[in-house]
Amino acid sequence: MTRVLFVCTGNVHRSALAERLLAARLRPGSAVRSESAGTQAWPRAGMEHATRALLEELGGDGAGFAARPLGAALVADAALVLGLAREHREAAVRLAPVALRRCFTLKEFVRLAAGAPAAPDGGRIDGVVAAVAARRGRVAPVEPHEDDIADPWGRPHHELQGCAREIDGQVTRLVRLLEGAGVDA
């Protein structure tokens, strides 16, 4: 089983949505396991009601979700770590510096994957991650906020809706990449 770990602050909205949308978008029997954690999360069962409702509208399943704090072992054991903002990627790297080449923001990973050569090993996730990591510093930089998905915590419901749609679009591109179809530019 290959683990993809999504990270946000509270593991309440963004990373929870990404985790469950990836699970919903992968082909049945996929070897990829989607997980999430938060840099300031505390363990608790269940998903926030509005987030779960949006997830289910998008075809995901919120059953059995439990928020959890980010730890070094989670980062070290993941094949790919995707923060929902740069601060989350940086927190993961601080916890497990050896994971640097496997830590990105979700938007950064998808952006760098656009135009990346095919993985030399037929698309295994470690080959895909290595090909994307090799593009760091070789493509034009973007403004820092362009790699972040804004936190909807405490914001109006329409901002949570926009966040969910943005995550769904990025996760859909990620699935194409992980399943060997490539990422749309």
Instruction: Map out the domains of the chain with their CATH numbers.
Output: 2-178 (3.40.50.2300)
In percent, the amount of the chain with pLDDT more than 90 equals: 82
* Cβ–Cβ < 8 Å for 109, 80: yes
One-character DSSP codes across 59-104: T---TT-EE-B--HHHHHH-SEEEESSHHHHHHHHHH-GGGGGGEE
CA distances from 22 to 58, 158, 184 (A): 11, 22, 17
CA distances from 20 to 58, 67, 69, 121 (A): 10, 12, 17, 27
Q: Which residue has the higher pLDDT, 179 or 77?
A: 77
Rounded to two decimals, the pTM is: 0.94
Residue 103: what residue type?
Answer: C
Measured distance CA(185)–CA(113) in Å, rounded: 9
Least-confidence region, from 30-44, 130-144, 158-172? 130-144
What integer pLDDT is reported at residue 118 of this predicted model?
58
Q: Which two tokens stand for residue 110?
A: 């998808």
What integer pLDDT is reported at residue 114 of this predicted model?
85
Average pLDDT estimate for 29-52: 96
Residue 137's DSSP bridge partners are none
* Cβ–Cβ < 8 Å for 181, 39: no
Measured distance CA(42)–CA(21) in Å, rounded: 22
Is the pLDDT confidence value at 119 over 70?
A: no
In percent, the amount of the chain with pLDDT more than 70 equals: 93
One-letter-per-residue 3-state SS of 126-167:
HHHHHHHHHCCCCCCCCCHHHHCCCCCCCCCHHHHHHHHHHH
Greatest pairwise CA separation for the chain in angstroms: 45
Q: What is the pLDDT of residues 5-23, one digit of tens each?
A: 999 999 999 999 999 999 9
